[in-house]
């Protein structure tokens, strides 16, 4: 049996046994021309373990030379995100949401972007994982709320237009979260019904009871609550009867092959019908072509957003688009 296979079997045995009581991740390194000394092996195993921690609980990773660059970049981003607001590196873009019935823009989603001073534009998928797991989410989350609402005030949109702002589950654990939203609404003299917060449902599954009280206060104020990435979690439909929800956003993974994939068609059809039966709005994400639009229209989906309509844009460009 090769060294790699032996290590894999040993790692799986260790993680399966110890995970019953403890959280563990394993880094593996095998001696080579580049790793001649015990110190080299320990150093590289530690690097692999750091990568394993960032992957998922109870897993293992082998060391590869390119891991060093990956770990270094991740650590650099974790350090630099603390200063991103002060250095004016963060900014928002907005992606229009289109009514499929009225064929017009009826809302926009605020999306966080990071232009690093030396690294340039950072992929949102890469840095949002860091932000949402850290305590920086509280300061950055408040910055997103205030920036989005202050820019929204300038758009001078009708009362039916809605701005959507993503809220990480960790933000809801903050005692002042609800108070901060109400203070910002008052500060910018906004109608609560023109604001929606989007919650990623597959990250909420363990904490529904903790969130309910705050979400109930938010909902009673008139602010809309949308479940983002709907259908990708473990209890999608359970949330509809448990939380004060106003709408769902169907995940783009179900939209991609919607025109040709019968399973996706059944899932989207069932999601829309159940949502409508509960008087909830349905928005499709990641729409990229006309065939997807036609399929969504046949299923009576309410709204859609994606590159087919528009890429995310600055507040200024959205104002110009709305004037058109």
Q: What residue has token string 């900014």?
A: 91
14-18, 132-136, 181-185: which range is least confident on average?
Answer: 14-18
Confidence of residue 235 (pLDDT cuts 50, 70, 90): low
Same domain, 56 and 98: no
In a domain, 68, yes or no: no
Q: Examine residue 72 and state whether it is found in any structural domain, yes or no.
A: no
**Same domain (yes/no): 241, 307:** yes
Is the per-residue pLDDT at 1 higher than 50? no
Assess whether 106 and 213 both reside in one domain.
yes
36 and 93 assigned to the same domain: no
Please say if the pLDDT value at position 16 is more than 70.
Answer: no
pLDDT at 203 over 60: no
Across residues 281-306, what is the average pLDDT? 97
* CATH number of the domain within which 196 lies: 3.20.20.450
The rounded distance, in Å, linking the Cα atoms of 188 and 235 is 36
Q: Are 90 and 156 within one domain?
A: yes
DSSP class of residue 189? T
Q: Clarify whether residues 24 and 107 are in a common domain.
A: no
Is residue 109 a part of any domain in this protein?
Answer: yes
How distant, in Å, are the alpha carbons of 73, 153, 154, 276, 322 from that of 280? 42, 26, 28, 5, 26
Q: For the whole model, what pTM was predicted?
A: 0.78
Best CA proximity match to 254, nearest among 283, 224, 290 = 283
Asked whether the beta carbons of 94 and 162 are under 8 A apart, the reply is no
Whose tokens are 């989005």? That residue is 148
Q: Token pair for residue 219?
A: 């909902």
Q: Of 38, 63, 88, which one is at a domain's C-terminal end? A: 63
Please report whether residue 75 resides in a domain.
no
Question: Both 253 and 227 in a single domain?
Answer: yes
- Strand-pairing partners, residue 281, are 247
Query: Domain for residue 152, yes or no?
Result: yes
Query: Do both 99 and 15 map to the same domain?
Result: no
DSSP 122-170: EPHHHHHHHHHHSTHHHHHHHHHHHHHHHHHHHH---TT-EEEEEE-GG
- Residue 28: inside a domain, yes or no? yes
> Residue 74: inside a domain, yes or no?
no
For position 67, what pLDDT does the model report? 47
Structural domain count, the chain = 2
Last-in-domain residue among 63, 92, 110: 63
Is the same domain home to 25 and 133? Answer: no
Residues 204 and 319 in one domain: yes
Q: Are 41 and 105 part of one and the same domain?
A: no
Q: Residue 73 pLDDT > 70, yes or no?
A: yes
Its domain, for residue 179, covers 80-323
What are the helix (H) ranges across the chain? 3-18, 38-55, 65-80, 124-133, 136-155, 177-187, 208-220, 236-242, 252-255, 262-277, 290-298, 315-323
Tokens of 208: 């529904």
For residues 103 and 208, membership in a common domain is answered with: yes
SS3 224: strand
Sign of CA dihedral 10, 16, 20, 25: positive
> Taking residues 263-289, what's their average pLDDT?
95
Antiparallel, parallel or unpaired: β 120-122 and 104-116: antiparallel
């Amino acid at each position: 049996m090769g060294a790699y296979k032996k290590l894999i079997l040993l790692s799986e045995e260790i993680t399966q046994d110890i995970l019953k009581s403890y959280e563990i991740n394993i880094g593996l390194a095998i001696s080579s021309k580049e790793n001649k000394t015990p110190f080299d092996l320990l150093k590289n195993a530690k690097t692999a373990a750091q990568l394993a921690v960032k992957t998922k609980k109870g897993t293992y990773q082998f060391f590869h030379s390119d891991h060093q660059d990956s770990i270094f970049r991740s650590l650099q981003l974790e350090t630099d995100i603390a200063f991103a607001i002060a250095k004016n590196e963060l900014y928002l873009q907005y992606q229009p949401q289109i009514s499929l019935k009225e064929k017009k823009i009826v809302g926009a989603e605020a999306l966080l972007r990071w232009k690093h001073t030396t690294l340039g534009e950072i992929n949102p998928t890469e840095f949002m994982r860091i932000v949402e797991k850290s305590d920086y989410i509280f300061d950055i989350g408040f910055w997103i709320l205030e920036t989005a609402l202050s820019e929204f005030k300038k758009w001078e949109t009708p009362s039916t237009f809605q701005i959507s702002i993503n809220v990480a589950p960790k933000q809801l654990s903050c005692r002042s979260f609800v108070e901060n939203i109400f203070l910002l609404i008052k500060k910018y003299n906004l109608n609560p019904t023109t604001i929606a917060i989007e919650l990623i449902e597959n990250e909420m599954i363990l904490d529904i009871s903790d969130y309910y009280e705050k979400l109930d206060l938010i909902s009673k104020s008139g602010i809309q609550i949308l479940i983002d990435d709907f259908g990708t979690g473990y209890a999608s439909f359970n949330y509809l009867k448990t939380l004060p929800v106003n709408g769902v956003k169907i995940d783009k993974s179900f939209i991609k092959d919607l025109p040709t994939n019968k399973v996706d068609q059944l899932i989207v059809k069932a999601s829309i019908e159940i949502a409508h039966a509960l008087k909830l709005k349905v928005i499709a994400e990641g729409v990229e072509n006309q065939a997807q639009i036609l399929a969504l229209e046949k299923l009576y989906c309410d709204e859609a957003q994606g590159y087919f309509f528009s890429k995310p844009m600055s507040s200024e460009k959205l104002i110009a688009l709305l004037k058109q």
